[in-house]
Chain A
Amino acid sequence: MALSTVLETPGAGFNFENATRNAALEALFEGGQTPKPLKTGTTIAGVVFKDGVVLGADTRATSSEVVADKMCEKIHFISPNMYCCGAGTAADTEKTTELLSSNLSIFSLNSGRNPRVVMAVNILQDMLYRYHGQIGANLLLGGVDCTGNHLYTVGPYGDVDKVPYLAMGSGDLAALGILEDGFKHNLELEEAKELVRSSIHAGIMSDLGSGNNIDVCVITKQGVDYIRPYQESEYKDDRKMNYKYRPGTTKVLTEKVVPLKLEVVQETVQKMETA
């Protein structure tokens, strides 16, 4: 049946050669500190409100202490009614959500239905549990379907929680403080957006791994409003001096010119509509 093509376990997937090595390494650490799963800097948050779900994220991607990307996208598209925030290893969150999105669009086309949030969560949980934490993805999945507005969190080992609000990433404690203080059931849209914005802002200011702009994604029955950036960073780099180089500043050591011999074989002219 159509569903079985979506839900069957893929065959040759990841290479597990290192799993036995990792187990042996873990034995060496026995009784002491095992290496903790790497939480790369991020603050993501989600809130369920009266008409849907609001997701928020910062836009800084770090590679240990250096900012690798000042405008990275942490809220990933899953389906027209579902978006997923990802914290943890950037490659893992990207690929896991892309895989989920592809599988769900195949399902939609086969069954003619909009995927439900529980289905996405089950697929994610199944996949992450199968890899036993090797995939470092902390995901916050929010969406609206025929059964209502839902927000789920899935951890790298496959644990799932259905929550009315949550924050994840290295800035989660700062963001959660704001959420715990301001959350009420059945918030209005503007209140929910403001709550998510201020919780991400708290994460950005208190956590060194989070920063730059704030993205917000509002999912309702009517549709999705992906506001990127919702709030731009107030810190504009205003360097006073000019650091442009004239052509010829870099020393030319050798020069070799190879002319390409081209023949005109065919010429076609197509008028453009410029009206």
Chain B
Amino acid sequence: MLSAQGFGGPGKMKEYHYAGAVENRFSPYAFNGGTVLAVAGEDFAIVASDTRLSEGYSIHSRDSPKCYKLTDTTVIGCSGFHGDCLTLTKIIDARLKMYKHSNNKTMTSGAIAAMLSTILYSRRFFPYYVYNIIGGLDEEGKGAVYSFDPVGSYQRDTYKAGGSASAMLQPLLDNQIGFKNMEGVQHLPLTQEKAVQLVKDVFISAAERDVYTGDALRVCVITKDGINEQTIPLRKD
């Protein structure tokens, strides 16, 4: 039922009388939801994201993955404000091409991470509202994950969750991959199959409790043989 205070007569909006200046703020940002996750293994890296694009309580799209392929060995996951995600990935693609043409080689994951940090900081006072996580293979062929904040601070990690359900996923990963807060448990190295299954399971959990996460999960597995993509369904409600 609509509140009575906004209506003057049948079908008419009430006239507002006010004294002084009124500033109607326009917010340049919107929050489009989404969760991103990256895990680095011995010789592989995984970048996974859900595919739901939402705004407020509505769904814009059920098929909008947040992983973007940059090179044959690097994938970036971006969540936050979708407009900034799109522009940022366009800018990164352009810069990758420029580097390739000047230096005659593809950018390495570490180099992309350093470059992204400067791109984000260049907008320190009107930031890109994007939470980035880069996953890929480093020069030695080992898995690498770099996680960023919206203004460019970054570090190399073994695993990282970002986006709306990050607070739910990160502690779970700390426990299952980092073996934190556990006694007498064998620290087995993470195999690719176990890591992929773990990523699928944690996203099922995130979709249960976070309203912005759901619909489908896109998993990109990066190995020296290339990038393998899988899509599995999640809750749609």
Question: Does B188 sit at the interface, judged by CB under 8 A?
Answer: no
* Shortest Cβ distance from residue A113 to the other chain B in the assembled complex, whole angstroms: 30
Given contacts A41-B57, A133-B3, A208-B54, contact A67 B204 (CB under 8 A): no
Given contacts A31-B18, A204-B237, contact A249 B4 (CB under 8 A): no
Q: Which residue of B lies closest to A138 (CB)?
A: B1
Given contacts A41-B57, A67-B209, contact A248 B183 (CB under 8 A): yes
* Shortest Cβ distance from residue A15 to the other chain B in the assembled complex, whole angstroms: 23
Question: How many B residues face the partner with a CB closer than 8 A?
Answer: 38
Question: Does B13 sit at the interface, judged by CB under 8 A?
Answer: no
Question: Does A211 sit at the interface, judged by CB under 8 A?
Answer: yes
Q: Is the CB of B211 within 8 A of A245?
A: no
User: From DSSP, what is the main secondary structure of chain B's interface residues?
Assistant: loop
Q: Is the CB of B182 within 8 A of A212?
A: no
Q: Is the CB of B1 within 8 A of A209?
A: no
Q: Is the CB of B237 within 8 A of A212?
A: yes
A134-178 CB mask vs B (1 if < 8 Å, else 0) is 000010000000000000010111010100000010100000000
Q: Is the CB of A249 within 8 A of B185?
A: yes
Q: Which residue of A lies closest to B23 (CB)?
A: A32
By size class, the interface of chain A is 35 or more
Residues of A within 8 Å of B164, CB to CB, are 65
Q: Which residue of A lies closest to B208 (CB)?
A: A237
Question: Does A205 sit at the interface, judged by CB under 8 A?
Answer: yes
Question: Does A37 sit at the interface, judged by CB under 8 A?
Answer: yes
Residues of A within 8 Å of B59, CB to CB, are 206, 208
B17-55 CB mask vs A (1 if < 8 Å, else 0) is 110101110000000000000000000000000000010
Question: Does B103 sit at the interface, judged by CB under 8 A?
Answer: no
Q: Is the CB of B204 within 8 A of A209?
A: no
Q: Is the CB of B197 within 8 A of A233?
A: no
Q: Which residue of B lies closest to A252 (CB)?
A: B183
Q: Is the CB of A235 within 8 A of B235?
A: yes
Query: Bound complex: CA of A205 vs CA of B235, how far in Å?
Result: 10
Query: Bound complex: CA of A129 vs CA of B1, how far in Å?
Result: 14
- On A, residues with C-beta under 8 Å from B are 30-32, 34, 36-37, 41, 60, 62, 65-67, 70, 133, 138, 153, 155-157, 159, 161, 168, 170, 204-212, 233, 235, 237-241, 243, 245-246, 248-251
